[in-house]
Structure 1
Amino acid sequence: MSRSANEVMTLAAKAARGSGAPPAQAADFGQAAVLHLAAGRAETDLLQAMGLLPGGPIMAFPLELQKLSERARDGIARGEVDALGLPDLLKSYAEAMACAATFAQGTLTVDLGTPQPRRAVTRMTPSEALLDDWAVLAARLLVPETESSRARGAGAGLTDND
């Protein structure tokens, strides 16, 4: 079934959060996941990265991109980056940057002065197995519907007056 890119991005980010990623890294993963799938890259890369949390590429790639950007001279930075066995996923992270960034032959190049060329991604058809796996991981963020959870602020808490 066709899904909106926003729906896939949000589910990927929630799944990463449910697997232990902090909010910022989960959001970065959601953006990279959409570009990864839109480019026809392997879904198994996304599942593998999720399985490596609380470490692995979901934690490492955003930090590596930031470190490289901070070392830029005249707006350009190049450096060797360990793709952690997932070079296509690192390409997707590079493509998700606001500035032009590429990863090829072990070298990441960032051009802070050039915006990343964007192509519109509106709808996509990831496998139902991937979406089901992500839904299970995302469900870890939910709390049970009990009086004690509402007393601690879940939902409308105990002040629901509808």
Structure 2
Amino acid sequence: MTHSANEVMVLAAKAARGGGAPPAQAAQFGSAAVLHLVTGRAVDDLDEALAALPNGPILSYPLGIAQIAEQAVKGIARGIMEGGDTSLARSYVESMPCSARLDADGTLTMEVGKPALRRNIMRISLSHDTYIRWSAFAAALLVAESDASRQSGAGAGVSNDND
């Protein structure tokens, strides 16, 4: 089944949040997941990253990229990417807003002032099983329905608005 790129990105980010990733890293995972899938890379890489939470590449890749970017001199940053040249690391690099490349030896080179060129992604094929698995991770964000949760502010509350 196909889904919009935005729907897949949001679902992947919610799955990462449900697995314990902080919001910024979850958002980066969502962006990387879209590029990972659209380039035909294995969904198993994404599932393994989700299963590794609250540790693993969803936290380590963005941190490693940020550490390399902080060392930029005259707009060029270069360093060894933790985890080397994996397909998921490549997807993270390709999802960056600046021009970047990851060499086979794990060397990440970024031109931090040069925007990345992107193609417009409309639809992504995502299996029903993957959608269900990621939705189960995302469901961990939901608050259980109870009187106590409603009293503490969960839910939409009572609305007399009849729009």
In the TM superposition, residue 148 of structure 1 has moved relative to its aligned partner by: 1.2
How far is 1:145 from its partner?
A: 2.0
Give the distance between the partners of 2:3 and 2:75, measured in 1 at CA.
37
Unpaired stretches in structure 1, ≥5 consecutive residues: none
- How many residue pairs get aligned? The number is 159
Corresponding residue for 1:101? 100
**Alignment RMSD:** 1.2
Q: How does 1:1-162 map to 2 (within 5 A)?
A: 1-83=1-83, 87-105=86-104, 106-157=106-157, 160-162=158-160
SS of residue paired to 2:41? coil
Give 3-state SS (helix, strand or coil) of 2:21's partner. Answer: coil
Report the TM-score when normalising by structure 1: 0.94
* C-alpha contact 2:9 2:30 (8 A) present in aligned 1: yes
Query: What SS is found at the alignment partner of 1:145?
Result: coil
Q: Report Cα offsets for 1:24-74 as digits up to 9, x if no partner.
A: 110110000001001111100000111111111100111111111110111
1:139 is paired with a residue whose SS is helix
What is the alpha-carbon distance in structure 1 between the residues aligned to residue 37 and residue 103 of structure 2? 19
CA contact (8 A) 2:78 2:107 kept: yes
CA contact (8 A) 2:101 2:109 kept: yes
> 1:30 & 1:113 partners in 2: Cα distance?
23
Runs of at least 4 residues of structure 1 off by over 2 A? none
Does the Cα contact within 8 Å between 2:21 and 2:54 map onto a contact in 1? Answer: yes
- For each residue in 1:82-141, what CA deviation from the matched residue of structure 2 results, as whole angstroms up to 9, or x when unmatched? 226x71111111111110111121111111121111011110111221111001110111
Native 8 Å contact 2:98 2:113 kept in 1:
yes
Contact 2:61 2:82 in 1 (8 A): no
CA distance in 2, matches of 1:104, 1:132: 34
Normalising by structure 2, what TM-score?
A: 0.93
**TM-fit CA distance, 1:12:** 0.3
Give, in whole Å, the separation in 2 of the partners of 1:111 and 1:148. Answer: 51
